[in-house]
A and B are shown apart, each in its own frame.
Chain A
Amino acid sequence: MSGLYGTLNLGTRALQTQSKGLSVAGQNLANVNNPAYSRQRLVVQTSFTLPSTLGPQGTGVSAIAIQRIHDSLLDRQIQSEVSSSGYWSAQQNALRQAQTGLGEALGSTTSGADGTTATAGISSLASLGNDLSGLFAEFQNLAATPGSITQRSALLARARNLTDQFHRTDERLSQVGASLDQSVRSDLTEANDLLASVAKLNEQIRRSETATGGTANDLRDRRQEKIEALARLTSVDSFEDTDGQFSLSVGGEVLVSGKQVVATLSAQDDGNGGLQIRTSTGNPVALSGGSIQGTLEVRGGALATLRGDLDRLAGTLATEVNALHRNGFNLSGGTGADFFTGTTAAGLQVNAQLLSNPSLIQASGTAGAAGDNQTALALARLGNQSLASLGGQTLSEAYSQTVTSLGQTLANADTQVEDQQLVGNLLLGKRNATSGVSIDEEMADLVKYQKAFQASAKIVSIVDQMLDEVIGLKR
């Protein structure tokens, strides 16, 4: 049975459906600048049919769902890309800090009070390389006037510049290490917060979907956003269960299951000065991507190597200089003193006795000959000597290799970050093409729904007039 009242109902339903469509378009437009938002679409179908003498007769339209348009395969790809871009960005950032800490940059300004480097046009700014060759230059000057106290004081000043530079560089690098630790810890705090958010969203999604049916589109968008934020910090595997809840696991360790955070992550001292990531249940976790792992790898890799190289350089310098210096004779014929003390970049010092009395520098090869410079000459030549303990390199070669191998690692990270950015942009663009809101489309939809609304309203008003006509028949 349909009749005029049936048509009136049909009109009402149509009005409701069109206004729902309008509100979905409005929701889309409102979220046009929300990057985590997936556009939604109203799914409509013809409403139930009524039997009639003419066969089943339609009763108009009804809305059955608000669909979220997205591609879960792309979500997964983006998740893993985000992990590797987080990993490389963290490496790039950490390595940049290390490079700055090392401080070896070429600049057009000249350095060195004596202008030794001025002739080179381009010189290193205050750096170890500069101070290292400065020391050997002073050994040469000492060889020229081995008896001169002025010259000896100049040498000591230069040697102190060098040890200070070693200390400063080591200190800067250790600060870089500390700041990397800090960033790992703050990343972990953030990751744990995100785990909690995902668990909470799982619960909300389950609750709202079982209560009302359909899908909790906006909550799911928000959860995907949290998972991707987590993926930037650490590689994460996600599995959707039948309730639409996501389980998250990192390195094989389940961290979130349904509404529960099974375990959180923390950084522990591994006993060798390194950091190890463990779950709150005590299991070590092997991360395979994300910024935490990127930072950890630089901390335990490039940065540790760099500091080790500097220690080795300082140690070799001290050993080799001392071996020669010990056999020399000072101005009063004394012998056997060391030039440097300490064997690490942080511990290298000029022998304090020499500092207080420059005449104790053992420049001479024979006792009682102030003009003899054999030891000074040997020390000066050490600068150009290949040393077995440095793998057949000279001190300055070993240093420049340290600089360039760090540079190489950073250059590699730079390239990777660029590549990741391209891949990431491509994937995000693809997802955006599917899920992004288009104002034009929504405007067209608005017009569409508006017109349909007007048409449905027309039906109601015509039925109304017709009912008037029917009531008027009695008069």
Chain B
Amino acid sequence: MRVPSNAFPTSLVQQLNTLNNRQNRLQSQAATGQKLQWAADDPAAMQRALDLQQASRTNTQYGKNISFLQERTTATVSSVRSLNTLLDRANEIAILADDTKSPDQLRHYATEIDQLIRQAVQTGNSRHRDEYLFAGTRSDQPPFVLGEDADGNVQTVTYQGNSDVAELEVARNSTVSLQVPGTNTSGTGAPGLFGDSRSGSDVFAHLISLRQHLTAGDTKAIATVDRPALSNDEDQVLFRLAEVGASQARLESASTTNANLNTQFRESLSEVTDADLAQTLVELSATQTAYRAALQSGANLLGVSLMDYLR
């Protein structure tokens, strides 16, 4: 075959161009550590990368939900604990208030119980991030409202929340409750912390009744009515505490799973998109060698023709 004069420069330019392209691609892979940038680089890998990204973002959001719920559950636990302590003391008073106590002592107890009621209302109106914890889903207003008589004694405590509970996703199709209803008289749904028609618990009514009996010095009624009622209330609160504790444990394990998943997504994504640095650098230096060889041989060939030997 004839090799015309412009065959060398033409093919040299083509070869240099190819090598330059390859160098450029490898160089940018080495610099960014990424072998995939645009969908056209590898459509199948891009699809996988996008799906993994989406899954990873969703999972990250679940992680945020979990931390939010953990925060809220911690707030709930501390409220339930303080309610439990409070009921402990009320029970103690119900036991102490027997025939051996003078009416004065009983009245002192009554004052203490009144304080305990107010404290319980305060606990019932605990908030987390501007939302009332024990109002069911009517969480924008205080669930418990005190009604006092002319002497400033607590007469009634009305519940103005509801018995509904909102839930938040901690993983796909897995939810954890955001609230504990303060009182549930509907007979269905999540049991109320302060009162529930199914277990017969009603912290405020029973505390008020204890106080009234103390004021009246009716130790018999205290022993027969208030003592068992309050003890039942305390049991119920302990059950709720156990439940909240259980959901704390659930959140803990969800959080671990979530973190593991995130690591897994990150690894898979890195597998799909990251360049193998060792391989890239080896290829790059091989390409550079080829490039230099092409330049060298090209420079040698281009300068030579028959003209050099004719005088």
Interface SS of A by simple majority: helix
Task: Indicate if the CB atoms of A437 and B60 lie closer than 8 Å.
Answer: no
B51: shortest Cβ distance to chain A, in Å?
6
Bound-state CA distance A438–B136 (Å) is: 93
Q: Please pick, from B1, B169, B270, the residue contacting A381 in the complex, using a CB distance under 8 A.
A: B169
Chain B positions 131 through 155: 1 when the CB is less than 8 Å from some CB of chain A, otherwise 0:
1100111111100000000000000
A125: shortest Cβ distance to chain B, in Å?
10
- Answer whether residue A400 sits at the interface, using C-beta atoms and an 8 A cutoff: yes
| Given A369-B162, A369-B164, A120:B1 Cβ within 8 A | no
Task: Indicate if the CB atoms of B34 and A106 lie closer than 8 Å.
Answer: yes
| Given A374-B166, A437-B4, A144:B34 Cβ within 8 A | no
Q: Please pick, from B60, B129, B141, B273, the residue contacting A106 in the complex, using a CB distance under 8 A.
A: B273
For B100, what are the chain A residues with a Cβ–Cβ distance below 8 Å?
A: none
Q: Please pick, from A104, A331, A443, the residue contacting B305 in the complex, using a CB distance under 8 A.
A: A443
Beta-carbon nearest neighbor of B304 in chain A: A440
For B41, what are the chain A residues with a Cβ–Cβ distance below 8 Å?
A: 407, 411
Q: Which B residues from 31 to 90 make CB contacts under 8 A with A?
A: 32-34, 36-44, 46-47, 49-54, 56-58, 60-62, 64-65, 68-69
- Answer whether residue B125 sits at the interface, using C-beta atoms and an 8 A cutoff: no
Bound-state CA distance A377–B169 (Å) is: 8
Q: List 22 A-B contacts (CB under 8 A).
A: A33-B6, A106-B273, A120-B56, A144-B65, A145-B130, A370-B140, A372-B166, A373-B168, A373-B178, A377-B166, A396-B50, A397-B54, A403-B47, A407-B41, A432-B7, A433-B7, A436-B2, A436-B7, A439-B5, A440-B305, A443-B310, A444-B306
Looking at B115-123, B183-191, B241-249, B261-269, the stretch in contact with chain A turns out to be: B261-269
- Answer whether residue A425 sits at the interface, using C-beta atoms and an 8 A cutoff: yes
Task: Indicate if the CB atoms of A147 and B10 lie closer than 8 Å.
Answer: no
Chain A positions 137 through 150: 1 when the CB is less than 8 Å from some CB of chain B, otherwise 0:
10011011111100
Chain A positions 209 through 243: 1 when the CB is less than 8 Å from some CB of chain B, otherwise 0:
00000000000000000000000000000000000
Task: Indicate if the CB atoms of B137 and A403 lie closer than 8 Å.
Answer: no
- Answer whether residue B3 sits at the interface, using C-beta atoms and an 8 A cutoff: yes
For B179, what are the chain A residues with a Cβ–Cβ distance below 8 Å?
A: 371
Chain A positions 357 through 380: 1 when the CB is less than 8 Å from some CB of chain B, otherwise 0:
000000010101111111001001
Task: Indicate if the CB atoms of B51 and A108 lie closer than 8 Å.
Answer: no
Task: Indicate if the CB atoms of B39 and A99 lie closer than 8 Å.
Answer: yes
For A39, what are the chain B residues with a Cβ–Cβ distance below 8 Å?
A: 4
Task: Indicate if the CB atoms of B166 and A120 lie closer than 8 Å.
Answer: no
For A444, what are the chain B residues with a Cβ–Cβ distance below 8 Å?
A: 306
For B38, what are the chain A residues with a Cβ–Cβ distance below 8 Å?
A: 99, 105-106, 407, 410
Bound-state CA distance A429–B11 (Å) is: 9
Known: A123-B53, A428-B10; 11 extra A-B contacts, CB below 8 A, are A99-B38, A106-B37, A117-B60, A119-B266, A140-B169, A145-B131, A366-B164, A370-B140, A429-B10, A432-B4, A437-B6
For A122, what are the chain B residues with a Cβ–Cβ distance below 8 Å?
A: 34, 49, 53, 269-270, 273-274
For B162, what are the chain A residues with a Cβ–Cβ distance below 8 Å?
A: 369
Q: Please pick, from A140, A331, A440, the residue contacting B5 in the complex, using a CB distance under 8 A.
A: A440
Task: Indicate if the CB atoms of A384 and B58 lie closer than 8 Å.
Answer: yes
Which 9 A-B pairs rank lowest in CB-CB distance, beginning with the nearest? A407-B39, A436-B4, A371-B139, A370-B140, A400-B50, A372-B137, A410-B40, A369-B137, A407-B43
Chain A positions 426 through 455: 1 when the CB is less than 8 Å from some CB of chain B, otherwise 0:
001100111111111101100100000000
Task: Indicate if the CB atoms of A383 and B58 lie closer than 8 Å.
Answer: yes
Task: Indicate if the CB atoms of A369 and B138 lie closer than 8 Å.
Answer: yes
Task: Indicate if the CB atoms of B40 and A370 lie closer than 8 Å.
Answer: no
Task: Indicate if the CB atoms of A440 and B306 lie closer than 8 Å.
Answer: yes
Beta-carbon nearest neighbor of A418 in chain B: B18
Residue numbers of A with Cβ under 8 A of B are 32-33, 35, 39, 95-96, 99, 104-108, 116-117, 119-124, 129-130, 133-134, 136-137, 140-141, 143-148, 331, 364, 366, 368-374, 377, 380-381, 383-384, 396-397, 399-401, 403-408, 410-411, 414, 425, 428-429, 432-441, 443-444, 447
Task: Indicate if the CB atoms of A120 and B5 lie closer than 8 Å.
Answer: no
Bound-state CA distance A99–B306 (Å) is: 51
- Answer whether residue B14 sits at the interface, using C-beta atoms and an 8 A cutoff: yes
Task: Indicate if the CB atoms of A370 and B265 lie closer than 8 Å.
Answer: no
For A32, what are the chain B residues with a Cβ–Cβ distance below 8 Å?
A: 5-6
Task: Indicate if the CB atoms of A137 and B61 lie closer than 8 Å.
Answer: yes
Residue numbers of B with Cβ under 8 A of A are 1-7, 10-11, 14, 32-34, 36-44, 46-47, 49-54, 56-58, 60-62, 64-65, 68-69, 129-132, 135-141, 162, 164, 166-169, 172, 175, 178-179, 262, 265-266, 269-270, 273-274, 305-307, 310
Q: Please pick, from B39, B62, B141, the residue contacting A104 in the complex, using a CB distance under 8 A.
A: B39
For B43, what are the chain A residues with a Cβ–Cβ distance below 8 Å?
A: 404-405, 407-408, 411
Q: Please pick, from B40, B51, B130, the residue contacting A148 in the complex, using a CB distance under 8 A.
A: B130
Task: Indicate if the CB atoms of A443 and B306 lie closer than 8 Å.
Answer: yes
Task: Indicate if the CB atoms of A411 and B40 lie closer than 8 Å.
Answer: yes
Task: Indicate if the CB atoms of B136 and A432 lie closer than 8 Å.
Answer: no
For A414, what are the chain B residues with a Cβ–Cβ distance below 8 Å?
A: 40
A133: shortest Cβ distance to chain B, in Å?
4
| Given A377-B169, A429-B11, A372:B131 Cβ within 8 A | no
For B40, what are the chain A residues with a Cβ–Cβ distance below 8 Å?
A: 95-96, 99, 406-408, 410-411, 414
Beta-carbon nearest neighbor of A122 in chain B: B273
B215: shortest Cβ distance to chain A, in Å?
37
B213: shortest Cβ distance to chain A, in Å?
36
> Which of A146, A366, A404 has the most CB atoms of chain B within a 10 A radius of its CB?
A404
A173: shortest Cβ distance to chain B, in Å?
15
